[in-house]
């Protein structure tokens, strides 16, 4: 029987990119799954869009929101995890487009005691603008269709889209390579997320929250499995975000690396 999956998509005031992400999720061949939008304080435009889309979306689509009080992606992601019902959770960003095989691959690679990190194809600025303005269904493009964008320099690479590799021992050769994972595309069993109390909301500002989560999962015995050459997401271009608090967070991360702490200081159990 297929495993129920919860896909948690973080977003903030970018409904055009979210629309492209949801088109990719709508096209997934895998069932059953649910989608939870973790909204870090977007305006009503995003809420209106989600409300409209949810009426015809083929699987349950939930919208979890909190007021805009600066960068609080960890807090809203924890609230989304608390609202999830799947056995397996996939964390992804609302500017990343999955292809129709995305959930198929994650289900295939899922393994108790392991978390899976995917990779991404970076899309250029003008290419991103064209995709969003014209609702181009790049999620459904064939492999051959990606040759031209690569030759034109519209993407940073294309090989992961052209070559898919099966599951095997090679995917488990670097079980502690925490730098290879980011929450733009990461899968982990929900019980493991609850065990570590989710993301640590004690981090303030930009950066290190995802690495902290991964390292604490490792402290809890969860190892890292590579999801490369399976189903990379298509990452839409965006301006670089302000990195307020990055240095302070990096210093906090060093403490986690050198220690043995498993649970978040403030996490899922602290959700209202």
Distance in angstroms between the alpha carbons of the first and the last residue of the chain: 34
d(CA 195, CA 269): 10
pLDDT at residue 242 in the model: 67
pLDDT at residue 243 in the model: 66
pLDDT bucket at 240, cuts 50 / 70 / 90: confident
Count the helix, strand and coil residues of the chain and give each as a percent rounded to the nearest 5: 40, 20, 45
Range 257-264 average pLDDT = 92
Return the half-sphere exposure (C-beta side, CA atoms, 13 A cut-off) of residue 170.
6
Q: 86-123 b/e with 16+ CB inside 10 Å = b?
A: bebbbbbbbbbbbbbbbbbbbbbbbeeebbbbbbbbeb
Q: Do 217 and 256 touch, CB atoms closer than 8 A?
A: no
Q: Which domains does the chain have, with CATH numbers?
A: 5-264 (3.90.550.10)
Tens of pLDDT, residue by residue over 193-216, are 999 999 999 887 777 889 999 999
Tens of pLDDT, residue by residue over 147-203, are 999 999 999 999 999 999 999 999 999 999 998 888 888 999 999 999 999 999 988
Has residue 250 got a pLDDT over 90? Answer: no
């Amino acid at each position: 029987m297929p495993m129920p999956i919860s896909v948690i998509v973080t977003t903030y005031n970018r409904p055009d990119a979210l629309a492209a992400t949801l088109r990719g999720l709508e096209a997934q061949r895998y069932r059953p799954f649910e989608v939870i939008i973790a909204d870090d304080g977007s305006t009503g435009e995003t809420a209106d869009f989600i409300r409209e889309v949810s009426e015809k979306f083929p699987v349950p689509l939930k919208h979890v929101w909190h007021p805009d009080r600066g960068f609080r992606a960890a807090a809203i992601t924890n609230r989304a995890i608390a609202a999830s019902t799947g056995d397996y959770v996939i964390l992804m960003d609302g500017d990343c487009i999955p292809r129709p095989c995305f959930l198929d691959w994650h289900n295939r690679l899922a393994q108790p005691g392991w978390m899976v990190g995917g990779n991404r194809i970076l899309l250029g600025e003008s290419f991103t603008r064209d995709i969003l303005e014209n609702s181009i269904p790049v999620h459904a493009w064939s492999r051959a269709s990606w040759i031209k964008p690569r030759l034109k320099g519209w993407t940073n690479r294309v090989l992961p889209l052209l070559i898919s590799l099966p599951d095997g021992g090679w995917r488990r050769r670097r079980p502690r390579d925490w730098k290879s994972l980011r929450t733009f595309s990461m899968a982990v069993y929900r019980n493991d997320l609850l065990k570590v109390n989710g993301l640590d909301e004690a981090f303030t500002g930009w950066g290190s929250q995802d690495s902290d989560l991964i390292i604490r999962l490792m402290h809890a015995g969860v190892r890292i499995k590579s999801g490369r050459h399976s189903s990379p997401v298509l990452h839409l271009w965006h301006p670089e975000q302000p990195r307020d608090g990055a240095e302070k967070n990096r210093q906090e991360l060093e403490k986690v690396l050198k220690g043995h702490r498993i649970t978040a200081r403030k996490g899922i159990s602290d959700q209202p």
